[in-house]
Structure 1
């Protein structure tokens, strides 16, 4: 901060009020990135020598054309860098930084390069940099409220289930909202059998699975499936059956996804479960596992194989008979489907198997460098070509997981006697063709949580509603337990001492508009606000903030605070500030203060009726306004023969970048500001002003920007004296740091530094 005292002759000025201005020297940065995939990495190493490169296509990194050079075998200067296609990138006023990020793509001899490009322009001055006031937004709380207020406390429970000797209390409307099967059982034709306080018996479901099912219905989460042990797989199987029984499709897909990732010999019988409960992705994962060599024989030895064979006759054992063994004579590698493969040839049969000595054998191998953690599943067709190049002798493999087996083929491909037929053999040569098809990894897509939609439908349908509210001329139906779970105020009214007064007739809600109460109900049930016209958002946010504070809806209150802080203007600031004061909205109040500090319409705000009402009802706010640097309405002026003073705050934004971009003796200047009858600006030298100054010190110079001659407003040129004090300000409090103040006094200041 720079304070300037400039004694002048007699002049008309505002007495006692120093001028105040601010500016910032900012290093603006523009960021971008480009994703470059290197496909066929091993081939690029062979084709390009040391120092040779290939370049990517040109792309736009912010406003500049850019490309990337790729040196597979290195360069004398650089391995990989971003090069500018536009000459402007090499000029002195820009600095480019490229940060390389590698992400290995598991789909063959390929990897990804993502350079994050940062372009820094020369430091520039910005007048009155705006301040930003953020309102911290909490996470949605619907799941937490339903678990704590309903599931765990069992308060308001109106149905009990008996499962495996254990009893579980629940709430009819919640179960009906989440499950169409529960809706039919509790409110449909079967309603009578579950009414009257009796227990509903549930057979065919384990107690632990039903407990996890209830937890999912109330919270949309399944912590019981977070483990990786055998017990977790068993729970996933039982929950899948329960989810299918009660038509909980999302829970069913979550269980299916868990089981797909944990298929082994002991759990391969999950195929029967997938077949019975219509789980196509799980069924395919089980089939792929059984087609891998060795897996089917291991599964045959388990107790569940007989049930698997009778319930799923689609399993074809003949497709998995060929089990390879031994080593191969490897031929040169080839690339297919983004992976590197090679063929093994056994001219005298598989090593160690004398009974196959009359056969030649072929096997397909996946190179070890391309063996990824994720499954690489492929199907191969081996074809013996005749002398015309046509396929006449063909074998097709099953779908094989090459990440586990590494190779697959036929040890009894063809007898040598048949191979030596002139139809195949010519000039002591024969040809084998291999067609390869790679199957992408199997994925199960679990949809996002739809809990809010279920409760939204419950509110709209009014099914099982047990309380009414009279707001204006409109009656709203709702559910006591949902309101109690979401609001402690509703809980006290509906289940506390006031319970009796709320059971006979509609509860009257005064001092609230119908649209506001309806919007609050929607938020309580769905954790989100209904759609509304943009021009109505600010007005609705003011009313909803009052309602949220009344019913202790803290998240809704913060959402309204956030919306209002972004819609402050001259006409609404007085009302918003009054709301912030009455309802303890500290962040919103600070946003109003910040608006008044930077607004050029302060006088217009103070002339409004709302501001007058604010003064009458909340005088403490006015005192706080003045303490926060907002001037009072009163002002005066006088003819003085003294001094004109003022201050200017200069903020250095991007200090470390200015040190790199500006050399010793180079400077950046602030915006021009006025003190008294003169214009001034500051020069900022991050590495010192000249060779005589130490380069490890910064220099700040005050410069007068106008001509020294002319009418100064007090009878012509006069002797004048300028005194300036430079303060280093504390970053948080904005106050001068002790021991870091420098002062200077100049006479007849004629545009000198």
Structure 2
């Protein structure tokens, strides 16, 4: 939603631009975890903690204001409408960045995300804009830009409410006036849409009776194994549909999206983020020579290493030629206290049977 100086409105998605006087009723939000000390020369990052139950009682159009902070020699304030700024937004939270300085216009990048229930930043609903905010002729007015419909209140309550509060993180970064801003690459997003819409697909894969459509050229560009299979002398090169064995539909779906986007889904978007799922993905990455995916899976598995899992994960690292993960698991294993506990696990028994040379090396180093 865009609002000009005279109050005339046009619908432009949910972004909204304000040239507005500060004459509205508002409630000042005092519970700031990290106030204006978190300031560098050209940026400022701070948290804004909202009492959710209290915010539900206030009228639509009532704002909480952050403290005024400084970034890049300019003063800024965040306007936060927990019940929406307009009646049309009442099911949403509205958020706007307000340029408080009167010296000159400035190009700014404003980013907003929430803290998850695990007290870690969650990027699932992160939003960002880059705009030039102007100096207003009216000294009592300021230029704002933001989102009239940032996030639905129901999603906020279901996914982010922790002990009665929701914590937002605001990042304000000033763009160098003397440089041309180059946005980050979004080719992965576009290729992901290509996969989602199945435009121009020329091959399909059948995995346990599920069919996945894809583009031969994309697969061949990303995987030498697919290149040999789809463009070489193998019989699959001329087949419109290929049946795959020894891989689950869930694993193939994630691998296929990684091939197109070079990213894994966020863990809270995965149907299964278990150790076994990443083991299956590691196996697929090894099979199709997707080296970056292998490293990502290795890191995910390393994060799950404990005395109960180290032997099993070490066996996977050896099986799927993941040397760095193997070395880290062995380093963990040879700590005497870890070794004494890990030898009683089923994974250790499997390791003894399949890879006795690794056991010999571990015992030598303990």
> What's the TM-score once normalised by structure 2's chain length?
0.50
Which protein has greater RCO, CA pairs closer than 8 Å, 6+ apart?
1
